[in-house]
């Protein structure tokens, strides 16, 4: 489907270039000379130039379209990855907060780093699409809150996490997932 | 080149904020590694903190180590003297700079 779209755009550009070339020459001849079919070298060059411009425009449009489409797909894929990571690792984060056990410390740090790096990818490309930036910023802010709750003052300390902190972790996780869904919806608008 | 690779010279599993919380805390890192190196820097020298190789960095560790240093020496001086390298988690650098900038004495 995607390939068909890009091919269509390419040929559309080609046809537009060709039609513009033919029309321009027609108008020119109708005005300047009655012998329409007597092509001069200059006319031929003009015609070829128009076709070349048409091809160039078509090629440019196709590349631009493909590039944007690739970035959109990448955004959706990264957003899905982050959601999946949260879904898979929530039990581990929950269990760590319940026990504050050293055994799960490495896994918690690794998971948070993976999520952080995925968000960083979104941040790197957020300016390409209008309407996405604010959602990416929300994802970042809410992720920072999650990291702060889990690896803040209770991390590695004998103190246990409170139920409020655990609830907050879930609350901000929900907010991250909501913002990721907004990104996925808005990117194709 | 003045450089500290945290994962090799200190720990690849940094801990919490204070020494009383357990091993490899931010306070311990600041007192044993960061502050002595920082004190020995000449006027035109900088200190490179290599963050790669660790499993990850807890907020409390980073705030206590780098925010704590800024509370001792001042925000401007610490930002000026410390350089960071983090190929594995690039956004860590901005996070640490945030702790330094927001350090309150």
The predicted structure's pLDDT at residue A154: 87
Tell me, what's the pLDDT at A30?
Answer: 67
In this complex, the residue of A106, A120, A151 whose CB is nearest that of residue B59 is A151
Q: What is the number of domains present in chain B?
A: 1
- The span from the CA of A11 to the CA of B96, in Å, is 51
Which pLDDT belongs to residue A5?
A: 63
Average pLDDT of chain A is 85
Note the pLDDT tens digit of each residue in B62-81: 999 999 999 999 999 999 99
ipTM for this model? 0.90
pLDDT tens-digit map of A144-171 = 999 999 999 888 888 889 999 999 999 9
Hey, are the CB atoms on B59 and A157 less than 8 Å from each other? no
User: What is the reported pLDDT for B91?
Assistant: 94
B56 touches chain A (CB under 8 A): yes
Of A19-23, A73-77, B23-27, the one with minimum mean pLDDT is A19-23
Would you give the end-to-end CA distance of chain A in angstroms? 18
Contact A169, A93 (CB under 8 A): yes
Domain ranges in chain A are 2-186
> At a CB cut-off of 8 Å and minimum separation 6, what does A174 contact?
none
User: Which CATH fold would you assign to the domain A2-186?
Assistant: 1.20.120
Chain B residue with minimum CA distance to A122: B91
A128-135, Cβ contacts within 8 angstroms, sequence gap of 24 or more = A128/A68, A128/A71, A129/A71, A129/A72, A129/A75, A129/A186, A129/A187, A131/A186, A131/A189, A132/A75, A132/A183, A132/A186, A132/A187, A135/A179, A135/A180, A135/A182, A135/A183, A135/A186
Parent domain of B61: 2-101
**Best of A111, A155, A169 to mutate (most B CBs within 10 Å, chain B):** A155
Which of A101, A124, A126, A153 to mutate to probe the B interface, most B CBs <10 Å? A153
């Amino acid at each position: 489907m995607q390939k068909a779209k890009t091919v269509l755009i390419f040929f559309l550009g080609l046809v537009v270039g060709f039609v513009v070339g033919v029309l321009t020459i027609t108008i020119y001849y109708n005005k300047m000379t009655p012998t329409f079919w007597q092509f001069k070298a200059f006319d031929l060059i003009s015609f070829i130039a128009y076709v070349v411009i048409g091809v160039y425009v078509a090629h440019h449009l196709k590349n631009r379209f493909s590039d944007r489409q690739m970035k959109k797909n990448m955004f959706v894929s990264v957003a899905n990855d982050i959601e999946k990571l949260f879904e898979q690792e929530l039990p581990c984060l929950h269990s760590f907060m319940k026990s504050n056990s050293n055994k799960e410390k490495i896994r918690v740090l690794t998971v948070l780093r993976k999520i952080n790096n995925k968000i960083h990818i979104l941040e790197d490309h957020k300016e390409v699409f209008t309407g996405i930036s604010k959602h990416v910023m929300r994802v970042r802010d809410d992720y920072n809150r999650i990291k702060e709750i889990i690896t803040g003052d209770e991390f590695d300390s004998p103190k246990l996490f409170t139920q409020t902190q655990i609830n907050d972790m879930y609350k901000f996780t929900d907010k991250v997932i909501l913002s990721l869904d907004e990104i996925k919806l808005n990117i194709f608008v | 080149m003045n450089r500290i690779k945290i994962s090799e010279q200190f720990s690849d599993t940094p801990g919490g904020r204070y020494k009383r919380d357990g091993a490899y805390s931010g306070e311990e890192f600041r007192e044993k590694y960061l502050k002595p190196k920082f004190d020995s820097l000449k006027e035109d020298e900088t200190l490179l903190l290599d963050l790669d190789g660790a499993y990850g960095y807890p907020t409390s560790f980073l705030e206590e180590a780098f925010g704590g240093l800024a509370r001792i020496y001042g925000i401007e001086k610490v930002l000026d003297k410390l350089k960071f390298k983090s190929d594995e988690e690039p956004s860590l650098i901005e996070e640490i700079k945030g702790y330094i900038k927001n350090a309150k004495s």
